[in-house]
Amino acid sequence: MALSTFTFLSSTLLNALLVRAAPVLETRQSFTTLSSSQIAAFEPFTFYASSAYCPSSQTMTWSCGANCEANPTFQPVASGGDGSTVQFWYVGFDPTLATVIVGHQGTDPSKLMPLITDADFFLDPLNQTFFPGIDSKIEVHNGFAEEHAKTATDVLAAVKTALTESGLNRVTIVGHSLGAALAVLDGVYLPLNIPNVNFRTIGYGMPRVGNQAFADYVDANVQLTRITNKNDVVPILPGRFLGFHHPSGENHIQADNSWVSCPGQDNTDGRCSTGDVHTILGGSVKDHSGPYDTVTIGC
């Protein structure tokens, strides 16, 4: 009796340990190097992220030069921002890729770094007006949330119009730098306000946006890919010691230009941004703009 109880307990314990061990094993095994066709599939979206740096007058007429010409079938629906107090944004749809596109402008590191490292910033719960029903334990950088709030209502209305005009059921949200932070916030915000549509978010050089609860929410609810380039310093900011944590979905561009898919959140392996770029001083500002494969971000 005692023996069988012991056997039962130990096998239960063993099962529990195995169940716990399995994801770790999987995590270790699931680094993958992207094929050239997998990398090339990001190129149109990288141009879309780059187009978001162009003035709203140009994205509204899709006349922003090489960035716009890279996606020639795009149909603009709305655009806004002034490029200084409000980041540029645009919404439209791409019949070739069969998706509505939302683009958010980023900012150069000289302007982003003060925002990220500003002594006034703190982690704040998401505003229930924009994020109805979201758990108050989910906290994000207040500076990013304030930037997001400036355009949220207009972007939401434009996405609804674009879905109706195009007849599509898919939305891809892109951005670089601060624009990537805005894109992942939209990746949380838009589905809460537009049900039954497929959303995907692709962020380039994305800073840390929120806390562990935010990262967990994003993992469970947002189809996110975040692409980090070599020694770019922005993705390691704000620091983890301040309570910030990256969600999963990283593709890290290596020194030899190969792309490695990093499993898990904020992976500290040397093949991923957090492990590759240890300190702000070891980081590069130049690598922030790319190139992301063939595309260097900027209008």
Ligand X SMILES: *[C@@H]1O[C@H](CO)[C@@H](O)[C@H](O)[C@H]1NC(C)=O
In the bound state with ligand X, the residue whose beta carbon lies nearer, of 127 and 223, is 127
243 in helix, strand or coil? coil
* The binder of ligand X chosen from 113, 149, 194, 197 (CB under 6 A): 149
CB of 144 to ligand X, least distance (A): 14
- Residue with the shortest CB distance to ligand X: 127
70 in helix, strand or coil? coil
CB of 149 to ligand X, least distance (A): 6
In the bound state with ligand X, the residue whose beta carbon lies nearer, of 110 and 136, is 136
CB of 8 to ligand X, least distance (A): 52
CB atoms within 10 A of CB 141: 26
Q: Does 129 participate in binding ligand X (rule CB under 6 A)?
A: yes
In the bound state with ligand X, the residue whose beta carbon lies nearer, of 43 and 124, is 124
Query: What's the token pair of residue 135?
Result: 């758990």
Distance CA 220, CA 292 (A): 27
Distance CA 254, CA 191 (A): 33
Side chain identity, residue 183? A
Q: Is the dihedral of CA 97, 53, 256, 173 positive or negative?
A: negative
Query: What's the token pair of residue 158?
Result: 């434009």
Which residues touch 206 (CB under 8 Å, ≥6 apart)? 175, 177, 180, 181, 183, 184, 226, 228, 234, 235, 246
Q: CA of 8: how far to CAs of 4, 13, 17, 87, in Å?
A: 6, 9, 14, 61
CB of 145 to ligand X, least distance (A): 9
Site for ligand X, residues 44 to 83, rule: CB under 6 A: none
Which residues face 202 on adjacent strands? 174, 225
Place of tokens 């674009």: 162
CB of 257 to ligand X, least distance (A): 43
Distance CA 145, CA 25 (A): 36
* The binder of ligand X chosen from 31, 75, 86, 127 (CB under 6 A): 127
CB 150 within 8 A of CB 181: no
Q: Does 136 participate in binding ligand X (rule CB under 6 A)?
A: no
In the bound state with ligand X, the residue whose beta carbon lies nearer, of 87 and 289, is 87
CB of 134 to ligand X, least distance (A): 12
In the bound state with ligand X, the residue whose beta carbon lies nearer, of 8 and 122, is 122
In the bound state with ligand X, the residue whose beta carbon lies nearer, of 142 and 261, is 142
CB of 129 to ligand X, least distance (A): 4
Site for ligand X, residues 171 to 210, rule: CB under 6 A: none
Size of the site for ligand X (CB under 6 A): 3
In the bound state with ligand X, the residue whose beta carbon lies nearer, of 145 and 171, is 145
Residues that bind ligand X (CB under 6 A): 127, 129, 149
